[in-house]
């Protein structure tokens, strides 16, 4: 069995910047409390490293409820972005604010502000319950509609003359998102289209689907909390037509997955620490007759 490392994989620029910022704030806190409001990035191992660096976690999906648990010190907003209402509430509580929002997500917030200021109603494609859509929807809640599927796109109704635009969560399947956008443009031909799938997400998905042509299965290293990791496994199965296994660590690998497998591809989500992927590759190489090869960049 050959082990093919799929490139690109692993940390994206937004995750690197968020973790670096949080660790620096923890190191410079002088003993004052530093708390991340929700998982800074969706990976438990990265979260443990931050906690070891002195950054406490409030693991509350409702950011406003989580904020109520932070009474002093510094609050770090996660890479997924935050609603303006939570920012205002943190200021009212006298907390020091550190914003680790990914620049790609910040761009989407700015886009929604610009569109709604022009009296354009925004249709936002995203996953309910995920912190990124929660933050974006908070920018202009009365002028933004969240949808997840083509069926929900079909159910939309707007008053005649309503100006519309569509944008999206940055970590979705690029193919699923485009299908929803295509349906919206069919229904609303004048709609403005702003596809905000981030470049890192696109590149990792495209590479995984391309690699699937030349392997028998793909292992995706990443947390089940991670939207982009789950999407990697999804696109390999749906578009690459190969089995995909999402694992958090090498301990989750099952030998029966690889019976009869000659080549296995390995990739990882944008919030997955490099050492976890290395451990998975090493475990696969240690299986009988495993051999590593490197896929072209």
Contact status, residue 33 vs residue 56, Cβ threshold 8 Å? yes
SS3 (DSSP) at 250:
helix
| Distance (Å, whole) CA 232 – CA 268 | 8
| 154 CB-near residues (< 8 Å, 6+ apart) | 183, 187
94 alpha carbon, distance to own chain's centre: 30
Measured CA to CA, the distance from residue 63 to residue 70 in angstroms comes to 11
Residues known to be catalytic? 132
Q: How far is CA 208 from CA 6, 199, 238, 248, in A?
A: 7, 14, 12, 18
What gap in Å lies between CA 260 and CA 270, rounded to an integer?
A: 30
**Residue 40 dihedral angles phi and psi, to the nearest 5°:** -55, -45
Contact yes or no for 97/90 (Cβ under 8 A): yes
């Amino acid at each position: 069995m050959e082990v093919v490392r799929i490139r690109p994989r692993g940390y994206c620029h937004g995750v690197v910047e968020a973790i670096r910022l949080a660790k620096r704030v923890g190191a410079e806190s002088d003993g004052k409390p530093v708390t991340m409001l929700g998982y800074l990035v969706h990976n438990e191992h990265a979260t443990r490293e931050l906690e070891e660096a002195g950054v406490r976690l409030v693991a509350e999906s409702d950011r406003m409820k989580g904020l109520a648990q932070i009474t002093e010190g510094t609050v770090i907003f996660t890479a997924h972005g935050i609603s303006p209402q939570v920012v205002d509430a943190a200021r009212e509580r006298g907390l020091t604010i550190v914003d680790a929002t990914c620049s790609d997500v910040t761009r989407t917030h700015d886009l929604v502000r610009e569109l709604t200021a022009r009296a354009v109603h925004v249709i936002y494609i995203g996953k309910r319950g995920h912190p990124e859509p929660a933050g974006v929807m908070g920018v202009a809640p009365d002028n933004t509609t969240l949808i997840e599927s083509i069926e929900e796109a079909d159910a939309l109704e707007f008053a005649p003359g309503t100006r519309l635009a569509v944008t999206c969560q940055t970590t979705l399947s690029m193919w699923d998102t485009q299908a929803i956008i295509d349906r919206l443009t069919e229904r609303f031909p004048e709609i403005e289209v702003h596809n905000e799938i981030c470049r890192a997400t696109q590149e990792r998905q495209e590479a995984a689907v391309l690699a699937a042509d030349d392997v028998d299965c793909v292992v995706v290293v990443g947390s089940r909390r991670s939207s982009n990791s789950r999407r990697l496994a999804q696109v390999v199965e749906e578009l690459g037509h190969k089995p995909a296994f999402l694992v958090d660590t090498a301990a989750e690998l099952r030998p029966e997955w690889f019976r009869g497998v000659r080549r296995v591809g390995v990739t990882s989500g944008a919030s997955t620490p490099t050492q976890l992927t290395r451990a998975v590759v090493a475990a696969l190489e240690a299986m009988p007759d495993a051999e590593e090869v490197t896929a072209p960049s």
